[in-house]
Amino acid sequence: MEKTIKNIDKTVAKKIATGINGLDEMLLGGIPVGNQILIAGGPGAGKTLLSLEILYHNAKNGIPSSFIAFEETSDQLIINFKNAFPEFKDIDDLIKNKMIIIANQGPSTRSTEEGSDTNLYVFGNIILDIENTILSNNSKLVVIDSVSLLKLTMRNKTDYRRAMVLLISNMRRLNTTTLLTLELPSSERKDLKFTSEFFIFDGVIILYQIGQEEKRLLSMEIIKMRGTNHSLVFSPYEITSNGFKVFTMGGEF
C-alpha cells in the first residue's frame, strides 16, 4: 500500500500496511506478510471494526480478502461497518467485485449439522469451510472473528490449544496474513493475563479501555510482532466516521 510512514523497518522483506493512521507507524510499516495476528480486547474496544477497516483498506489496494464471522451475520457486519464508518462509501462495490468476501461460519452451525458437541473433528470441518472461502477469491488477508466462541465450545484447554495450532498451520499453508479477534474478560491492562493464545500467534495487539475519572480512554499496545521491531508504548486511539485514528508520540523501539 502507498503510505508515508516514518522509521519503516528495513530488515523485513515485505509487510502489509494496515492503512490506519498511527498503527502503521507503531508497526514500523505494517504487519509482516504471512503473520498470524491476535487482536484482543474487552467489549466495546473495537476489535471487529479495527480488523474490518484493515481488510477494507487492503481490498481497496488490490489485495483480495475474506472476513470469517463466527457470531454475527454477514448483513449485520456490513450494516455495523457502514454505521461506524459512513465515509467509506465503496464497501458494497468491493464486496460485489469479490475483493472482500464476508462469510458467516461457526461452531454452532457445524455442531448442529453434525449432531454432536463441538470437538476437533467438527473443528476440522470448520477449517475446511474457511479454506473454501479463502480459495474462492484467493484471499491474501483473512479476518476470523472471533476465536472466543471456539474457546467456549471446546471441551477442554488442551483441545482448544490444539485447535488453534491447527488453525494457524492451515492459514500458513494457504499463505495468508490472518487477523483473529479474541474477547478479553476485562478492558483494563491491570487485569491482563497471558493465556495460551499469546504464545502461539506471531503477533498480539491489545485494545484497552482505561478508566479515567468519569470517562474511559481507548488505548492500544503491541505485545509482540515476530519479524519486525515495533513500538513499545501505549497509544491512544479514537474511532471516527473516517476510521481509526491512533495517536503516536514517536515511541520506544
pLDDT above 60 (res 95): yes
- Average pLDDT in the 194-205 region? 84
Of 77-86, 102-111, 135-144, give the lowest mean pLDDT range. Answer: 102-111
Predicted pLDDT of residue 35: 97
For residues 130 and 191, the model is more confident at: 130
Predicted pLDDT of residue 30: 96
What is the per-residue pLDDT across 200-249, written as a single tens digit (0 to 9) for each? 999 999 999 877 667 778 999 999 999 999 999 989 999 999 999 999 87
- Average pLDDT in the 159-187 region? 89
Query: How many CA atoms are closer than 13 Å to the CA of 221, on its beta-carbon side?
Result: 13
Give the whole-number percent of the chain exceeding pLDDT 90. 59
Confidence of residue 115 (pLDDT cuts 50, 70, 90): very low
Query: How many CA atoms are closer than 13 Å to the CA of 64, on its beta-carbon side?
Result: 12
Q: What are phi and psi of 218, to 5 degrees?
A: -80, 130
* Distance (Å) of CA 161 to CA 50, 112, 145, 158, 207: 25, 23, 17, 5, 22
Confidence of residue 147 (pLDDT cuts 50, 70, 90): confident
Query: For the chain, what is the mean pLDDT?
Result: 85
Q: What are phi and psi of 42, to 5 degrees?
A: -80, 180
223, amino acid identity: I
Predicted pLDDT of residue 168: 93
pLDDT above 90 (res 64): yes
- Average pLDDT in the 141-156 region? 83
Give the whole-number percent of the chain exceeding pLDDT 70. 82
What is the per-residue pLDDT across 10-33, written as a single tens digit (0 to 9) for each? 444 599 999 998 999 999 999 999
In the chain the domains, ranked by start, together with CATH numbers, are 33-246 (3.40.50.300)
Predicted pLDDT of residue 123: 80
* Distance (Å) of CA 71 to CA 48, 98, 100, 113: 11, 22, 18, 17
Confidence of residue 131 (pLDDT cuts 50, 70, 90): very high
Predicted pLDDT of residue 145: 93
pLDDT above 80 (res 5): no
Q: CB-based burial of residue 74 (10 Å sphere; 0-12 exposed, 13-18 middle, 19+ buried)?
A: middle
